[in-house]
Amino acid sequence: MRSIISDYLTEALGAVQPDASGELAGYIPELAAADPDRLSTAFVMIDGQVYGAGDIDAEFTIQSISKPFVYALALADRGFDSVLAKVGVEPSGEAFNEISLESDTGRPRNPMINAGAITVHSLLGTEGLNADERVERVVDGLSAFAGRRLRTDEAVYASEMEHAHRNLAIAHMLRGHRILVEDARAVVDGYTRQCSVLVSTRDLAMMAATLANRGVNPLSGEQVVPEPVVRQVLSVMFSCGMYDAAGDWGTQVGIPAKSGVAGGLIGALPGQIGIAAFSPRLDSHGNSVRGVSLFERFSSDMGLHVMEVPATARATLRTSQVVGSGPHALRALQLQGAIGFAGAERIVRETVDTSYAENGVALDLTRVHSIDDVARRMLLEVVRRLTLDGHEVYLADPDSVMPAPDPGDDGRVTVVNSLDEAVAAQEGLSRGGSRPKGEGIDDAVAETAAVPPPR
């Protein structure tokens, strides 16, 4: 059976194909000579599954789509403080090649405009790398995001360098403000090579999927950059990735994205998918005309806007019921789904509002598929307080979705594979004589113990 997703992508390409509006990037002669009719798109799911339409393996230069990835590499190499000291994170509302810097600090406003990206290029690797080593770091890093070895297009690089007056002017200005502390021309040279790295639509979707997958390349399994770096990069893509069209894009499409003047466009939807489109004709903002149309379609057809509100939190507590009977009856709270702060709050409220008559209380995680860190800490605190209230607490967790289930500080929990096991354990305990509720417990401690603050 053919996948409905491939069919959908083929149909979407057919719908945008007749639109021949827009212009090729004229300021780089090699790009001006590109075939304007090329058109392709690809989805990469975070488990590495690829869907595509058009020639998704044809190569073109990455151009500005390199910027978020090189920003990620610089953050990973030098740390947040060093990079933020030199490049801000405010949308500029200006064109990509605007010659402007923050008036007080001389910092470029963000890493997605050329001034910021040229600066970020200079921050790659350990301090003191020479120009060639930096380019090597770029190609290695972009290759790790793509999951295959990439290379530069020397013709496009040379063609852009011959006309790089504007970027050279920006770099000299940065040098004047001591944001760049080395030869301005060498940095622009390296940045231009960075822009000339050849990628395919498949590569771009894979790179975007690596961001969507918390920095782990779905094919190689390599953690290319740490998670906090990914969050920073996606945030900046969301607010600044589409140049002076970022506001329209954020509201209408709502996918963290980045475009390049060769006609590529990527979007990364956290936890779901990496998307790429390629079509060389550009609109007045420098974004691919048909690429933007494709993304508008994808977002509305498939509800991919990041601000789409998920309806999960309310459903976290599936049931609260008594299992077993007599003295070893258990109160069982059945949880379900992916549990984050709002889901865990539901359980906190349930246990605060209700005083359970049963000595045994079980949190049944059989239907839970993930628990994030803050939810884990909140649930363990619930466990600890239930123990302090005199309950015998069980965690039915056959798939170990709760990492390190240790409530600490006088809390106690027995991890079992099922509610039946919890009932059996409770039965054994009751036969051996259970601790009566509340006995031996310092209630003052129970009342004043603080909830661990979310990190």
CB of 142 vs ligand GLU, minimal distance in Å: 14
CB of 103 vs ligand GLU, minimal distance in Å: 23
CB of 263 vs ligand GLU, minimal distance in Å: 9
92 binds ligand GLU (CB under 6 A): no
CB atoms within 10 A of CB 415: 15
Angle between helix 131-146 and helix 184-195 axes, rounded to 10 deg: 20
CB of 241 vs ligand GLU, minimal distance in Å: 11
CB of 74 vs ligand GLU, minimal distance in Å: 17
316 binds ligand GLU (CB under 6 A): no
CB atoms within 10 A of CB 104: 6
Distance, CA of 78 to CA of 87 (rounded, Å): 13
Distance, CA of 117 to CA of 37 (rounded, Å): 29
Nearest to 8, CA basis, from 434, 302, 347: 302
Which of 153, 160, 358, 392 binds ligand GLU (CB under 6 A)? It is 160
The contact pattern for ligand GLU, residues 166-195, with x = CB under 6 A and - = no contact, is -x---------------------------x
Could you tell me the two tokens for 2?
């053919």
Which of 40, 41, 63, 152 binds ligand GLU (CB under 6 A)? It is 63
397 binds ligand GLU (CB under 6 A): no
Distance, CA of 216 to CA of 228 (rounded, Å): 12
96 binds ligand GLU (CB under 6 A): yes
- 134 neighbors 121 (Cβ within 8 angstroms): yes
286 binds ligand GLU (CB under 6 A): yes
Residue with tokens 């045994």: 360
Q: Which of 16, 40, 44, 67 is catalytic?
A: 67
The contact pattern for ligand GLU, residues 261-280, with x = CB under 6 A and - = no contact, is x-------------------
114 binds ligand GLU (CB under 6 A): yes
Q: Which of 191, 199, 289, 383 is catalytic?
A: 191
91 binds ligand GLU (CB under 6 A): no
Is 64 annotated as catalytic? yes
CB of 261 vs ligand GLU, minimal distance in Å: 4
Which stretches within 272-315 are classed as H helix? 289-302
Distance, CA of 425 to CA of 328 (rounded, Å): 9
64 binds ligand GLU (CB under 6 A): yes
Q: Which of 40, 44, 64, 299 is catalytic?
A: 64
Nearest to 286, CA basis, from 252, 268, 267, 263: 263
Residues 204-263 that bind ligand GLU (CB under 6 A): 260-261
- Residues 25, 30, 32: CA angle, nearest 5 degrees: 35
97 binds ligand GLU (CB under 6 A): yes
CB of 18 vs ligand GLU, minimal distance in Å: 25
Nearest to 426, CA basis, from 361, 363, 351, 356: 361
Is 67 annotated as catalytic? yes
Q: Which of 51, 71, 157, 243 is catalytic?
A: 243
* DSSP symbols for 96-117: TT-----TTT---S-TTSHHHH
Cα atoms found within 13 Å of the Cα of residue 46, Cβ hemisphere only: 14
- 336 neighbors 318 (Cβ within 8 angstroms): yes
- In the complex with ligand GLU, the residue whose CB is nearer, 242 or 275, is 242
Is 261 annotated as catalytic? yes
Distance, CA of 376 to CA of 359 (rounded, Å): 23
* Chain centroid offset of residue 163 CA: 35
- In the complex with ligand GLU, the residue whose CB is nearer, 67 or 384, is 67
22 binds ligand GLU (CB under 6 A): no
40 binds ligand GLU (CB under 6 A): no
Q: Under rule CB under 6 A, how many of the chain's residues touch ligand GLU?
A: 11
- 330 neighbors 361 (Cβ within 8 angstroms): yes
Three-state DSSP at 452 gives coil
Three-state DSSP at 339 gives strand
CB of 258 vs ligand GLU, minimal distance in Å: 9
CB atoms within 10 A of CB 444: 8
Catalytic residues: 64, 67, 191, 243, 261
Footprint of ligand GLU (CB under 6 A): 63-64, 96-97, 114, 160, 167, 195, 260-261, 286
